[in-house]
C-alpha cells in the first residue's frame, strides 16, 4: 500500500495533472504504461470489466509498481476493496458503483476518490460527496460507455462554472478535439483510445500533450 504521505501528496496535487490515461488490462501493460507516462500521462487508471477479482488484483499491483516508479498516481476502477489490497493511490467509481462515501471509508482520508458524472444533476450532487475529482462526459459517444449519448461541449462549460471539485473531461479526447474542449472550459483530460489503440503510445501521448499546451497558450 502506498504510504499516507505519498497518497496525500498525490491527492493534493491532482488539480495540476492534465492527462489521465484510462486503460483496460493488456499483455504489454508494463511497457505500455511506461511509454504513455514518458509521453506526458500523469494519472493512470486501470479499468477492466472482464477480469475476475484475483487476476485483476495481480494486474493492479503490476500497474501500481510502474506508476510508483514514475511518481504518477495509480487509480483502480470500480473496486475500492481491491484498490486497498493492491496499494493503489485511489479508486474511481461510477454512478452505479460503490458509493463514494463507502470508497472513502474503505481507503481512508488520504486516498484519491473520483466519481463519474454525465449530467448537470449528477455534477450538482457530487458537490456533497467525499471525492477529490469528478469526470465530466463523455463529450462524444464512446465504446467505453456503450449506449450512452455524448454530452456535447456545453456540459464542459457548465462543469467549468459549477463543479465543486477539479474535473477531467471524458469522451473523444485527441489532438483535434483538445482545442474546442479547452475553449469550452476544460483543463484536464481522460484519454483512452488515442493511446490504447496507438502503435506508438509514447509518440501519441507527446502529440496530445503538445496539442494541450498549444490550446492552453491560445486560451491565455
Domain at 126, CATH number: 3.20.20.70
Which region holds residue 137: left if phi is over 0, alpha if psi is between -120 and 50, else beta? left
- Across the chain, what does the average pLDDT equal? 94
Is pLDDT at 11 greater than 60 in this prediction?
A: yes
167 pairs with which residues across the strands?
Answer: 134
With a cut of 80, say whether residue 144 has pLDDT above it: no
Q: What is the pLDDT of residue 4?
A: 66
Taking only the tens place, the pLDDT of each residue in 198-217 is: 999 999 999 999 999 999 99
Tell me what pLDDT residue 149 has.
81
Mean of pLDDT values over 151-168: 96
Rg (CA), the chain: 16
Using a pLDDT cut of 90, give the percent of the chain over it: 88
Q: Residue 13's pLDDT band (boundaries 50, 70, 90)?
A: confident
138: cis peptide before it, omega within 30°? yes
Please enumerate in sequence order all residues whose Cβ is within 8 A of that of 85, keeping only pairs 6 or more positions apart, or say none. 57
Structural domain for 206, as ranges: 4-219
- The band of 116, judged by pLDDT with boundaries at 50, 70 and 90, is very high
Q: How many domains does one find in the chain? A: 1
Q: Residue 185 has what pLDDT?
A: 97
Amino acid at each position: 500500500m502506498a504510504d499516507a504521505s505519498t497518497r496525500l501528496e498525490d491527492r493534493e496535487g491532482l488539480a495540476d495533472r492534465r492527462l489521465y490515461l484510462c486503460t483496460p488490462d493488456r499483455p504489454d501493460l508494463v511497457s505500455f504504461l511506461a511509454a504513455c507516462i514518458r509521453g506526458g500521462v500523469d494519472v493512470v487508471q486501470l479499468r477492466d470489466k472482464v477480469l475476475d477479482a484475483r487476476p485483476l488484483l495481480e494486474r493492479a499491483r503490476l500497474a501500481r509498481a510502474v506508476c510508483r516508479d514514475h511518481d504518477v498516481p495509480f487509480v483502480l476502477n470500480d473496486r475500492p476493496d481491491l484498490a486497498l489490497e493492491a496499494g493503489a493511490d485511489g479508486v474511481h467509481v461510477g454512478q452505479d458503483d460503490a458509493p463514494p462515501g463507502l470508497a472513502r471509508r474503505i481507503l481512508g482520508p488520504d486516498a484519491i476518490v473520483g466519481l463519474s458524472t454525465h449530467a448537470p444533476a449528477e455534477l450538482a450532487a457530487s458537490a456533497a460527496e467525499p471525492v477529490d475529482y469528478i469526470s465530466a462526459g463523455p463529450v462524444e459517444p464512446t465504446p467505453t460507455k456503450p449506449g450512452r449519448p455524448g454530452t456535447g461541449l456545453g456540459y464542459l462549460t457548465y462543469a467549468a462554472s459549477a463543479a465543486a471539485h477539479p474535473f477531467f473531461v471524458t469522451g473523444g479526447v485527441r489532438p483535434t478535439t483538445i482545442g474546442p474542449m479547452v475553449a469550452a472550459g476544460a483543463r484536464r483530460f481522460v484519454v483512452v483510445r488515442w493511446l490504447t489503440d496507438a502503435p506508438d503510445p509514447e509518440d501519441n501521448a507527446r502529440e496530445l500533450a503538445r496539442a494541450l499546451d498549444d490550446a492552453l497558450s491560445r486560451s491565455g
